């Protein structure tokens, strides 16, 4: 059935492409200066509309209907000749467009399509309206209504519609979430998006490069505050930078907190060794509070042929309270009512040093060397109490070290081919101590090394780009003297074909393996209740995955669409196993069978009323099959979302709706039923200030989602009521103060997670 659907999808795509191509001829050429130097990133225009952008060699290509046209190029600081082409009847190759350097020219202003497809990337030009109603990079991408990309300013994430993350760059330099969050939308000239990323970014869902205005010197001060009321949380960020010449300095500070109440009610049936026991749990109260503090100092030195970035970070995570209390009733082999309570707390502190150096050699070679080192100190304390039974206490502390290094080298050939080498290594050292009901010490060392050789090439006359990257990865573990080694081949491949300036087809595929969770790579047994325990698995192996992701993208005036087919297989899938012994229910992780995933995704967006009213939506049809010795389960489902936005006189209004849906997790494994979600946002923008107010799921204080599964020894049926996913009313204020003549985009990135291998019973 799925193969038939995929075949029909591909056949319709090919027929549609052929129908579009019948009356088109190809045009390719080169943009050079009067001294015969290639001009990169020049906008190639036909009849004053942009149809292509030159690559690093000055090459361009596009397809056009066979009628007379004139062509020229545009780039700041250059003046272009204009060439007339009269009634072409066949393909045109080696068309030469000459530009003269003129640094006194004003900024080039042209009429552009909102989205232009080329062999290597899609090019998006934000309108003044989109920039006016956006404060940062995330909001701009969201307001541009791009169907195959999902951008969230609150979560500081950008992904493609299948969920894969997108690597963000600013002027070609890697950017972290808060760097994009502090990037002024008004400074963004265009956005380049690679759907089939090669080079060091193979395996990413895409690469998004924000191209910004360039100035002489200056800095930026950025402050933002996001405050939630119904669901209580706060997110505060401050940033300042200064640049003069090749040197730039920046300081970032962040503080986040939240208080949430997540209540769970469950009806469980346990098949223990002595017989059946039913358990009914009803919540009394719950509280989870957390705090995150982050600081970073960064110094950078960048010139035309090299860049050096050094940063020192300090992260502190603290969960002072994570507690629940419930009323439990037992029937069967145990007849009893009791009150149970669970309380845990944790804190972690980690300094980190990052170094990244890039060198461009002779104009045709690229070398990147990166490294990082961090130290982490983690502490966990947990206690479970239930009337009529002994208390269960678990205390642990950990010291860990992490080291990583990477080397990337690429050689650019004259045939638009690139030959490259990527080598990466990560080492983690954990030293854990447990005490309480169970005393133990654990020393765990993990290492991951990969080496890949890559070839990529742009075939300009065919509007085609492709890449192949292959090599091996080596994973090693040492748990209290027990050593394991894993060798696995790694392959990435893909390409992008620009049918014309409005349509493209892209493919990304890979075969690789994922690193298992280190906290389970042990032989610990930690009790979590009077009849439950969590068990480590020192023999846990790696999970291998094989994926192909095929996408068709098109723009027809104000209508954009994207159709995708996502196929994935997890080999030696990692999943939870539950079993009983001596009337104890044990939980552990195992490698069991394969997981097959097929998804068909359709996304579309449309602009009306001169693009002041914008509609967008997407739907996902998913077909899952978990097939192993422990479990053999299937799931078919469909879900979707809709969005409406309206912009007028400095005000913007947005409403979103996500349908209720059922899905399946292969790692638990568990079925999930999720209720619909909805929200409205009103924002006011003036110059560098934005004030935003929003309400989400305002009809329900708690959002109730259910999960259920029959594990054989345990039949689970649970309803979770989340305050964090329920009623949320918030106000957000953002202000940016530029001074001097700003040179680069703000750099306020941070990664606030801390490494840990502590096995937690609850």
Sequence-distant (6+) residues with CB within 8 A of 128 are none
Which whole-number Å values give the CA distances from 543 to 300, 322, 470, 513, 589, in the listed order?
38, 31, 18, 5, 12
Q: Which residues pair with 334 in a beta bridge?
A: none
- At 304 the pLDDT is 73
Q: Taking residues 291-305, what's their average pLDDT?
A: 88
Question: Is it the case that residue 518 has pLDDT exceeding 70?
Answer: no
- Long-range contacts of the stretch 138-145 (C-beta < 8 A, 24+): 138/180, 138/181, 139/185, 140/185, 140/188, 140/191, 141/191, 141/208, 143/614, 143/645, 143/652, 144/114, 144/191, 145/560, 145/605, 145/607, 145/614, 145/616, 145/645
- pLDDT confidence tier of residue 761, bands split at 50, 70 and 90: very low
Q: Which two tokens stand for residue 156?
A: 């500081």
Q: Which residues pair with 343 in a beta bridge?
A: 323, 383
Torsion, Cα 752 758 759 762, to 10 degrees, reads: -60
Residue predicted with more confidence, 77 or 16: 77
- At 517 the pLDDT is 62
627: alpha, beta or left? (left if phi > 0; alpha if psi -120 to 50): beta
- At 758 the pLDDT is 42
Kindly state the DSSP code that residue 38 receives in the 8-state scheme: B
In three-state secondary structure terms, 462 is helix
In three-state secondary structure terms, 676 is coil
List the single range of 105-119, 225-239, 272-286, 518-532 with lowest mean pLDDT: 105-119
pLDDT tens track for 481-513: 888 888 889 999 999 999 888 899 999 999 988
Place of tokens 């944790």: 346
Q: Quote the CA–CA distance of 326 and 529 in Å, as a whole number.
A: 13
Q: Quote the CA–CA distance of 573 and 591 in Å, as a whole number.
A: 5
Q: Which residues pair with 359 in a beta bridge?
A: 306, 367
- At 582 the pLDDT is 93
Q: Taking residues 220-244, what's their average pLDDT?
A: 87
- What is the Cα gyration radius of the chain? 28
Q: Taking residues 323-338, what's their average pLDDT?
A: 94
- At 214 the pLDDT is 64
Average pLDDT, the chain: 85
| 13: number of Cβ within 10 Å | 16
- At 10 the pLDDT is 47
- pLDDT confidence tier of residue 215, bands split at 50, 70 and 90: low
- At 26 the pLDDT is 78
757: alpha, beta or left? (left if phi > 0; alpha if psi -120 to 50): alpha
pLDDT tens track for 417-444: 899 999 999 999 999 888 888 788 888 8
The total number of residues written for the chain in this structure: 762
Residue of 2, 161, 8, 160 lying closest to 623 (CA atoms): 2
Which whole-number Å values give the CA distances from 578 to 279, 535, 573, 582, 714, in the listed order?
17, 10, 16, 14, 7
Q: Taking residues 683-709, what's their average pLDDT?
A: 90
Phi and psi at 201, nearest 5°, equal -105, 15
Q: Taking residues 38-57, what's their average pLDDT?
A: 80
The continuous run of DSSP H or E covering 589 comes out as strand 584-591
Q: Quote the CA–CA distance of 473 and 513 in Å, as a whole number.
A: 9
Question: Is it the case that residue 516 has pLDDT exceeding 80?
Answer: no
Q: Taking residues 657-678, what's their average pLDDT?
A: 92
- At 45 the pLDDT is 83
Cβ–Cβ < 8 Å for 550, 505:
yes
Question: Is it the case that residue 634 has pLDDT exceeding 80?
Answer: yes
Question: Is it the case that residue 333 has pLDDT exceeding 70?
Answer: yes
Residue predicted with more confidence, 305 or 333: 333
Q: Quote the CA–CA distance of 112 and 485 in Å, as a whole number.
A: 54
- At 644 the pLDDT is 96
Q: Quote the CA–CA distance of 143 and 100 in Å, as a whole number.
A: 36
- At 109 the pLDDT is 41
List the single range of 102-116, 146-160, 378-392 with lowest mean pLDDT: 102-116
Q: Quote the CA–CA distance of 236 and 224 in Å, as a whole number.
A: 6
Q: Quote the CA–CA distance of 419 and 410 in Å, as a whole number.
A: 6
Cβ–Cβ < 8 Å for 58, 31:
yes
- At 350 the pLDDT is 95
Q: Which residues pair with 213 in a beta bridge?
A: none
Q: Taking residues 660-674, what's their average pLDDT?
A: 92
- pLDDT confidence tier of residue 114, bands split at 50, 70 and 90: low
Q: Which two tokens stand for residue 134?
A: 């956006």
Q: Taking residues 25-35, what's their average pLDDT?
A: 83
Cβ–Cβ < 8 Å for 46, 64:
yes
| 648: number of Cβ within 10 Å | 11
Q: Taking residues 171-186, what's their average pLDDT?
A: 81
- pTM for the full model? 0.80
% residues pLDDT > 90 (the chain) = 48
Q: Taking residues 364-384, what's their average pLDDT?
A: 93
Q: Quote the CA–CA distance of 344 and 517 in Å, as a whole number.
A: 21
Cβ–Cβ < 8 Å for 276, 333:
yes
- pLDDT confidence tier of residue 216, bands split at 50, 70 and 90: low
Residue of 461, 606, 605, 467 lying closest to 52 (CA atoms): 461
Residue of 373, 259, 235 lying closest to 312 (CA atoms): 373
pLDDT tens track for 469-489: 999 999 888 888 888 888 889
pLDDT tens track for 538-597: 888 888 899 999 999 999 888 999 999 999 999 999 999 999 999 999 999 999 999 999
Residue predicted with more confidence, 603 or 28: 603
Sequence-distant (6+) residues with CB within 8 A of 653 are 645, 646, 647, 680, 681, 682
Cβ–Cβ < 8 Å for 392, 762:
no
List the single range of 15-19, 711-715, 729-733 with lowest mean pLDDT: 15-19
């Amino acid at each position: 059935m799925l193969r038939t659907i995929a075949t029909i999808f591909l056949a319709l795509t090919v027929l549609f492409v052929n129908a579009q191509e019948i009356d088109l001829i190809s045009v390719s050429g080169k943009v050079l200066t009067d001294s015969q130097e290639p001009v990169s990133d020049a906008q190639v225009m036909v009849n004053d509309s942009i149809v292509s952008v030159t690559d690093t060699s000055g090459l361009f290509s596009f397809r056009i209907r066979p009628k007379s046209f004139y062509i020229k190029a545009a780039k700041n600081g250059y003046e272009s000749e204009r060439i007339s082409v009269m009634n072409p009847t066949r393909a045109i190759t080696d068309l030469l467009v000459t530009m003269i350097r003129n640094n006194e020219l004003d900024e080039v202003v042209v009429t552009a399509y909102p989205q232009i497809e080329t062999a290597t990337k899609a090019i998006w030009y934000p309108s003044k309206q989109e920039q006016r109603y956006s404060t940062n990079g995330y909001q701009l991408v969201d307001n541009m209504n791009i169907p195959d990309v999902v951008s969230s300013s609150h979560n500081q994430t950008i992904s493609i519609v299948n969920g894969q993350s997108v690597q963000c760059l600013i002027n070609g330099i890697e950017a972290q979430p808060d760097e994009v969050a502090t990037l002024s939308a008004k400074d963004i000239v265009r956005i380049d998006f690679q759907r089939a990323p090669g080079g060091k970014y193979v395996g990413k869902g895409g690469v998004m490069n924000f191209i910004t205005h360039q100035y002489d010197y200056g800095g930026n001060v950025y402050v933002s505050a996001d405050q939630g009321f119904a669901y209580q949380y706060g997110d505060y960020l401050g940033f300042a930078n200064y640049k003069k010449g090749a040197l730039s300095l920046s300081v970032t500070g962040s503080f986040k907190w939240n208080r949430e109440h997540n209540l769970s009610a469950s009806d469980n049936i346990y098949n223990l060794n002595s017989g059946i026991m039913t358990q009914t749990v009803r919540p009394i109260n719950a509280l989870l509070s957390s705090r995150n503090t982050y600081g970073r100092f960064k110094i950078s030195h960048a010139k035309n042929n090299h860049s050096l970035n050094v940063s020192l970070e300090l992260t502190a995570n603290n969960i002072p309270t994570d507690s629940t209390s419930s009323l439990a009733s037992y029937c069967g082999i145990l007849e009893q009512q009791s009150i149970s309570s669970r309380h845990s707390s944790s804190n972690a502190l980690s300094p980190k040093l990052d170094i990244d150096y890039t060198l461009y050699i002779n104009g045709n070679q690229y070398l990147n060397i990166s490294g990082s080192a961090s130290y982490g100190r983690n502490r966990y304390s947990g206690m479970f109490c239930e009337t009529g039974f002994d208390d269960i206490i678990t205390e642990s502390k950990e010291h860990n070290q992490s080291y990583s290094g990477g080397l990337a080298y690429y050689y650019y050939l004259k045939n638009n081919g690139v030959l490259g080498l990527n080598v990466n290594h990560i080492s983690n050292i954990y030293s854990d101590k447990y005490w309480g009901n169970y005393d133990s010490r654990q020393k765990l060392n993990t290492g991951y090394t990969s080496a890949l050789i890559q070839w990529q090439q742009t075939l300009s006359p065919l509007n085609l780009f492709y890449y192949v990257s292959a090599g091996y990865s080596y994973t090693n573990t040492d748990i209290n003297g027990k050593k394991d080694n894993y060798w696995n081949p790694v392959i990435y491949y893909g390409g992008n074909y620009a049918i014309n300036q409005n349509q493209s087809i892209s493919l990304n595929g890979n075969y690789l393996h994922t690193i298992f969770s280190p906290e389970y790579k042990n032989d610990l047994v930690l009790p979590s209740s009077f009849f439950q325990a969590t068990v480590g698995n020192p023999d846990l192996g790696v999970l291998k995955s094989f994926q192909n992701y095929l996408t068709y993208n098109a723009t027809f005036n104000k209508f954009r669409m994207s159709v995708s087919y996502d196929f994935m297989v997890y080999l030696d899938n990692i999943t939870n196993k539950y079993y009983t012994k001596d009337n104890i229910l044990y939980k552990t992780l195992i490698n069991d069978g394969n997981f097959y995933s097929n998804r068909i995704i359709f996304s579309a967006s449309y602009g009306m009323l001169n693009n002041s009213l914008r509609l967008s939506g997407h739907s996902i049809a998913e077909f899952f099959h978990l097939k192993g010795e422990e479990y053999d389960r299937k799931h078919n489902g469909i879900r979707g979302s809709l969005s409406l936005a309206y912009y007028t006189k400095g005000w913007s209004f947005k409403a979103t709706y996500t349908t209720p849906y059922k899905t399946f997790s292969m790692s638990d494994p568990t079925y999930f039923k999720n209720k619909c979600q909805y929200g409205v946002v009103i924002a006011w923008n003036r110059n560098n200030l934005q004030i935003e107010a929003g309400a989400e799921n305002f009809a329900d204080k708690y959002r109730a989602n259910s999960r259920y599964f029959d594990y054989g020894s345990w039949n689970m049926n649970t309803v979770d009521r989340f305050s964090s996913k329920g009623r949320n009313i918030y106000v957000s204020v953002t202000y940016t103060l530029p001074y001097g003549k700003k040179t680069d985009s703000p750099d306020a990135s941070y990664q606030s997670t801390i490494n840990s291998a502590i096995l937690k019973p609850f």
